[in-house]
Structure 1
Amino acid sequence: MKPIIPFLLMLLFTSGLHAQSKKVTKTGAIHFEASVPSFEEVAALNKSTTVVLNTETGEIAALALIKGFRFKIALMEEHFNENYMESNKYPKATFKGKVYGLDVNNLTENNKDYSIKGVLEIHGKSKEITIPAKIKKTNEGIAIASNFSVNSDDFDIQIPKVVSKKVSKKVNIDLDFVLK
């Protein structure tokens, strides 16, 4: 029975080391906007995105539940979920990729520019994308911010003809994550 104690201590020690290479958040923020000038704002915010970063390899993964996006107007949110995103059929958006050139030992309190390349899956469709990111060390952990655009056609998101002049096919996305 005594050999089990050193084994358990070794297991706890090595799992603690492994856990240090992973930084996580469950409160990442994604804001998107598909507004067209002179019409009502089409924008939403999701503050419950889960993001995992492997600090040794630069691999990064994110998951956002579609129903987690909040709009200023409840009816717009309902249309987004039922008509555009079909969130009952496609409940999540995911991203799996890699931060190129990431060395967490070189991170400072000043933003440093990186490229993140990977596969974004929305509405059941996947697309390889490369996005710019600003990454820095903060008191809370590692902060990642990005701003990029996607096209709704790339993900087979249909915009009804009756509102096609009021909703942009170019969707601007802002990411703000602090991983601990």
Structure 2
Amino acid sequence: MKRACSKFYHLVKMTNSEQHVTIENNKYRHMKKITVLALLLISLSALAQSKYLTKAGSLDFEASVPSFEEVAAKNNSVTAILNTDNGDFAALALVKAFRFKNALMEEHFNENYAESDTYPKATFKGNISGFDISIEDTTKSIDGSLTFHGVTKEITDISITIKVVDDKILLSGNFKVLVSDFDIAIPKIVANKLSDEVSVDFNFELAKK
């Protein structure tokens, strides 16, 4: 009888011990999952904080010739994103969102020159050299590639003004491109009214993504 009781006691003790180990293991696994999840959330948060975005950037271009009608347009719905960790920058504009003062000129631009039904987007991808978000007001340069009318051209050393105001990053600048660089043919009948050199101005107010 004593031997049976002893065996029963040891069996209960072993069972309790195994249950305790199982509970501890479950606690460990649970804590491990919580830790991994917390680290993941911190990483995602840090990643999100390094991206600044706008969907209301402005892009203006002008290809006017003196003494003739102004050839200029404005797009106020440009999407742009900046990675403050490494200075990578990208922008996208819908070609049909460019607005001209002259409706007929806008129609000709989309149908005969930009061919926006075939090439609906213009994009720019580049890098701001030496970007530092801790500097509130500075001028840097950006190199990148501009794609328009199905053609991609490298553009280098674009001067860009950078300001940090109220947790927003303001980017502005100007560069020039040639119409002929993007396989756009200008009819002879209007060749003297339209400049081959196009001046492009950009302004972006980016907020944390």
Length-normalised TM-score, structure 2: 0.80
Residues matched between the structures, number? 177
Identity score, percent = 54
CA offset at residue 123 of structure 1?
Answer: 0.6
Mapped partners of 1:97, 1:148: distance in 2: 14
What is the distance in 2 between the residues matched to 1:49 and 1:27? 5
CA distance in 1, matches of 2:102, 2:179: 21
1:122: which partner in 2?
148
Counterpart position of 2:16: none
Shift of 1:14: 1.8
For residues 1-180 of structure 1, the aligned pairs below 5 Å read 2=30, 5-105=34-134, 107-108=135-136, 110=137, 112-130=138-156, 131-139=158-166, 141-180=168-207
**Whole-angstrom CA distance in 1 between matches of 2:58 and 2:64:** 19
Bigger-Rg structure (1/2): 2
Deviations 1:18-50 (A, max 9, x none): 001111111110000001101111100001111
Distance in 1 (CA, whole Å) between partners of 2:197 and 2:51 is 33
What is the deviation of 1:61? 0.7
Q: What SS does structure 1 have at the residue aligned with 2:67?
A: coil
Unaligned runs of 5+ in 2: 1-28
How far is 1:9 from its partner?
3.8
What's the CA shift string for 1:86-138, capped at 9, x where partnerless? 00111111111100011111x22x3x111100111111111110211111111
Tell me how far 1:54 sits from its aligned partner.
Answer: 0.6
5+ residue gaps, structure 1, are none
Q: For the Cα contact (< 8 Å) 1:140–1:178, is it kept in 2?
A: no
More helix by share: 2
1:179 aligns to what SS in structure 2?
strand
Post-superposition offset of 1:7: 4.3
